[in-house]
Amino acid sequence: MTASLRPIDLDRLPAWIDRSAAEYAADLVTTGKSADEAARQAAEGMAESFPNGELSPGHAVFDVMDGDAVVGYLWIGPDTSGDESSWWIWDVLVEPGQRGRGLGREAMRLGEEYARAQGAHSIGLHVFGFNTAAHRLYESLGYETTSIRMRKRLE
């Protein structure tokens, strides 16, 4: 396994934006949001992050490659704090059939390398509580929990 990152072809960016928004909306539904609210929130977030369907300054979307095969993607860029040295993993995915081979770990490592080359001194991310495999991966890569948000349903 030798993963690499390749900048996404800009002609594929609109389809990628749609896919990333749909996956985010599905995750929001898993956390209890209605399908309509999740779709609205995901669409608004992507419109803000990709004005006019274009990359925001400093952001990059990469295909995660295994040889010549696209096996996932990574979206990385500055966080929203205004501190140019603080970066964020906005979205990362390894295709389900490609998981368990170290590709996600390598994509994260390469993303960190990229951020460091852009002047980042820290990098953060969000992980949904139900995504225990991702949580374990991030902890094993040295990410520390900085906050925990909890909820209880009242029926």
Which stretches within the chain are classed as H helix? 13-30, 35-49, 103-117, 132-140
* Residue 76: half-sphere exposure toward Cβ, Cα within 13 Å: 30
Contact predicate 115/88, CB 8 Å: no
pLDDT over threshold 90, residue 23: yes
Contact predicate 39/32, CB 8 Å: no
pLDDT over threshold 90, residue 51: yes
Q: Write down the pLDDT at residue 40.
A: 97
For strands 122-125 and 86-94, give the pairing.
parallel
pLDDT over threshold 70, residue 107: yes
Arithmetic mean of pLDDT over the chain = 93
Per residue in 68-82, pLDDT (tens digit) is 999 999 999 999 888
Q: How many CB atoms sit inside 10 A of residue 5's CB?
A: 21
Q: Write down the pLDDT at residue 1.
A: 60
Tokens for 10? 């800009």
Please give the average per-residue pLDDT across 32-59, as a whole number: 94
Quickly state the pLDDT bin for 99 (edges 50, 70, 90): very high
Q: Write down the pLDDT at residue 84.
A: 86
pTM of the model: 0.91
pLDDT over threshold 80, residue 54: yes
Instruction: Render the burial of 37-53: b for 16+ CB within 10 Å, e for the rest.
Output: ebbeebbebbeebbeee
pLDDT over threshold 90, residue 29: yes
Quickly state the pLDDT bin for 150 (edges 50, 70, 90): confident
Please give the average per-residue pLDDT across 2-30, as a whole number: 95
Residue type (1 letter), 30:
T
